[in-house]
Amino acid sequence: MRCPFCEHTDTQVIETRESDDGESVRRRRRCLKCDKRFTTYERVDLQFPTVVKRSGLRSEFDRAKLRASIGLALRKRPVPTQDVDAAVQRIEEALLSLGVREIGSEQIGEAVMRELRRLDQVGYVRFASVYRSFEDVQEFAEAIREVKPRKRRN
């Protein structure tokens, strides 16, 4: 591991711990040249399916882009960061469990909508308005009806 401070390649692992979620390993390291300490994380590197966009272009799955899209929909909303991270994790796990080499961007968009519907109604409507390219107020009203709790008859 290269030291982020002096670029020296010889570092020593001081401490190793499994993360709380069990998905990664946290390592405290010390550079043998400058003696500074830093933390690294080790995660399993799984191959996500290639994303096929509506235009037919293909691109690699990008976790940061997924997180940013959800974050934008939930901007200034009272949704805890750990809930957003958990939603991103569930979407990633669903993609990996499909076992396919390619996936349409529409499927990812639908997975995001399912998670947003669970997290925050306003975020769901925001995302749906962009994702589905709403043209008029009627489409907003329909999206609101989708998330509005139905009254039960006794």
Listed by start position, the domains of the chain span: 11-43, 50-147
| Structural Rg of the chain based on CA atoms | 21
Cross-sheet strand order for the sheet of 102-104:
58-59, 50-52, 102-104
Cβ atoms of 47 and 60 within 8 Å: the answer is no
Instruction: Give 93-102 pLDDT, tens digit per residue.
Output: 999 999 899 9
Whole-number pLDDT of residue 104:
94
The per-residue pLDDT string of the chain (154 residues; one tens digit each, 9 = 90 and over) reads 899 999 999 999 999 999 777 888 999 999 999 999 999 989 877 789 999 998 999 999 999 999 999 999 999 999 999 999 999 999 999 999 998 999 999 999 999 999 999 999 899 888 888 877 777 778 878 878 887 765 555 5
Q: Look up residue 133 and give its amino acid.
A: S
CA dist 125 and 147 (Å) reads 8
Neighbour tally for 42: CB within 10 Å: 12
Whole-number pLDDT of residue 153:
55
Count, in order, helices (H) and strands (E) of the chain.
5, 6
| Model pTM score | 0.62
Helix ranges restricted to H, the chain: 63-73, 81-98, 105-119, 121-131, 137-147
